[in-house]
């Protein structure tokens, strides 16, 4: 059987960030949680060539427990094994523990290196802590370190974002994800009108995104997806599976899977996940049809949508090519940085 990706959701956070609507709560019963994860991995009987611990805050599990999970999984030689870490809960000893367990990629939720922006987002760490965590990861032996940043957050300006990026470029990073802040309904941020007033407007947001793409590419971080930039050879292999419509198995409450053509998820209920012999499998849809593949392929700015697979897109792309929102290269349609800003509309026009 072909190896697939393995996603492990760790639904624990010390405190909820102001903007977050991911499924997570205070850490409790973590030992039972790990046992349930292991049970599900063993029952699936698959082989994995990428593993990704996401959350929540995977760094709230002890490194030994992460090692236990990895030891229970059938993992191919040379697999990419990533753990998302919060700078607040990833000290040198913990990172050494992950490294000895076989983890080879760390992804830090940095978000900003401006302390007032971090406070407005409700992050637990400050800029110094984030820098210290990245340097500790390098010292612990990691050669593949990613940082997430957020654009268009309350109080952020082009200058403060530029300072954050400049400081990140001084650090031993191989990958940077830059996400536009989305104000999700029901989050503390969505209910805080004073803070919402400090969110940059649409034009400033667009300028910040374009500046980020330009600065990162000038520094050798090539854009390969709408929100992702990497040094050559350091694209996240696990996340590429999502956009290439390849298979993965998700373990844990709220985790999604795509296996044998079926998209399904586990309900967002940690107690239930722990107590049931195996996680519930809720059918979502059949996946992998040509439209879905095309939609995901368009997100990949380096690969793009192969016209051989979707010839009808060529005619539809003409006005977009003229306006510089897409480009045609090596038989594929690719979004430009400007096109990335209106990707949903472009996807609808080419595929819808």
Give the footprint of ligand SF4 on this chain (CB under 6 A): 13, 16-17, 20, 22, 24, 55-57, 86, 109
By C-beta, is 3 or 122 nearer to ligand SF4?
122
Query: Phi, psi (5° rounding) for residue 68?
Result: -60, -45
Spatial CB neighbours of 292, under 8 Å, sequence gap ≥ 6: 245
- From residue 5, alpha-carbon distances to 1, 66, 109, 154, 249 in Å are 13, 17, 22, 35, 6
How far is it, in rounded angstroms, from Cα 131 to Cα 179? 19
Of all helices (H) and strands (E), which one includes residue 264?
A: strand 262-265
Query: Phi, psi (5° rounding) for residue 248?
Result: -155, 155
By C-beta, is 24 or 164 nearer to ligand SF4?
24
Least separation in angstroms between CB 80 and ligand SF4: 21
- Residue least distant from ligand SF4 (Cβ): 20
By C-beta, is 10 or 236 nearer to ligand SF4?
10
Least separation in angstroms between CB 266 and ligand SF4: 17
Least separation in angstroms between CB 253 and ligand SF4: 13
Least separation in angstroms between CB 57 and ligand SF4: 5
- Angle at CA 229, nearest 5°, toward 250 and 117? 90
Least separation in angstroms between CB 188 and ligand SF4: 10
Cα-only R_g, the chain? 20
By C-beta, is 55 or 252 nearer to ligand SF4?
55
- Tokens 């802590």 belong to 129
By C-beta, is 55 or 253 nearer to ligand SF4?
55
**Which DSSP symbol is given to 190?**
G
Task: Dig out the tokens for 153 from the structure.
Answer: 């957050």
Least separation in angstroms between CB 229 and ligand SF4: 20
By C-beta, is 91 or 262 nearer to ligand SF4?
91
Least separation in angstroms between CB 109 and ligand SF4: 6
Spatial CB neighbours of 177, under 8 Å, sequence gap ≥ 6: 107, 146, 147, 148, 149, 227, 228, 229
By C-beta, is 107 or 336 nearer to ligand SF4?
107
How far is it, in rounded angstroms, from Cα 238 to Cα 223? 16
């Amino acid at each position: 059987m072909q190896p697939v990706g393995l996603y492990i959701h760790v639904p624990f956070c010390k405190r909820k960030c102001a903007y977050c609507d991911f499924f997570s709560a205070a850490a409790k019963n973590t030992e039972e949680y790990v046992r349930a994860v292991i049970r599900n991995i063993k029952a699936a009987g698959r082989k994995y060539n990428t593993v990704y611990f996401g959350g929540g805050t995977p760094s709230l599990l002890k490194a030994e427990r992460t090692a236990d999970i990895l030891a229970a999984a059938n993992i191919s030689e040379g697999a990419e094994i990533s753990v998302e870490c919060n700078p607040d809960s990833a000290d040198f000893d913990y990172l050494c523990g992950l490294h000895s367990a076989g983890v080879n990629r760390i992804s830090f939720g940095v978000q900003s290196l401006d302390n007032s922006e971090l406070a407005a987002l409700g992050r637990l760490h400050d800029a110094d802590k984030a820098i210290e965590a990245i340097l500790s990861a390098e010292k612990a032996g990691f050669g593949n370190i990613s940082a997430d940043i957020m654009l268009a957050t309350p109080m952020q300006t082009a200058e403060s974002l530029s300072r954050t990026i400049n400081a990140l470029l001084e650090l031993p990073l191989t990958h940077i994800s830059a996400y536009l802040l989305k104000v999700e309904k029901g989050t503390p941020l969505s209910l805080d009108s004073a803070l919402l007033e400090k969110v940059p407007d649409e034009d400033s947001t667009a300028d910040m995104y374009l500046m980020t793409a330009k600065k990162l590419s000038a520094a050798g971080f090539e854009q390969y997806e709408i929100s992702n930039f990497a040094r050559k050879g350091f694209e996240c292999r696990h996340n590429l599976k999502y956009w290439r419509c390849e298979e993965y198995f998700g373990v844990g409450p709220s985790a999604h899977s795509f296996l044998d053509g079926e998209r399904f998820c586990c309900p967002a209920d940690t107690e239930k996940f722990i107590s049931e012999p195996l996680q519930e499998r809720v059918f979502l849809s059949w996946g992998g049809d040509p439209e879905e593949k095309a939609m995901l392929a368009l997100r990949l700015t380096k690969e793009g949508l192969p016209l051989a697979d979707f010839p009808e897109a060529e005619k539809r792309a003409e006005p977009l090519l003229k306006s510089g929102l897409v480009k045609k290269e090596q038989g594929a349609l690719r979004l430009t940085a400007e096109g990335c800003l209106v990707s949903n509309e472009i996807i609808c026009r080419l595929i819808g």
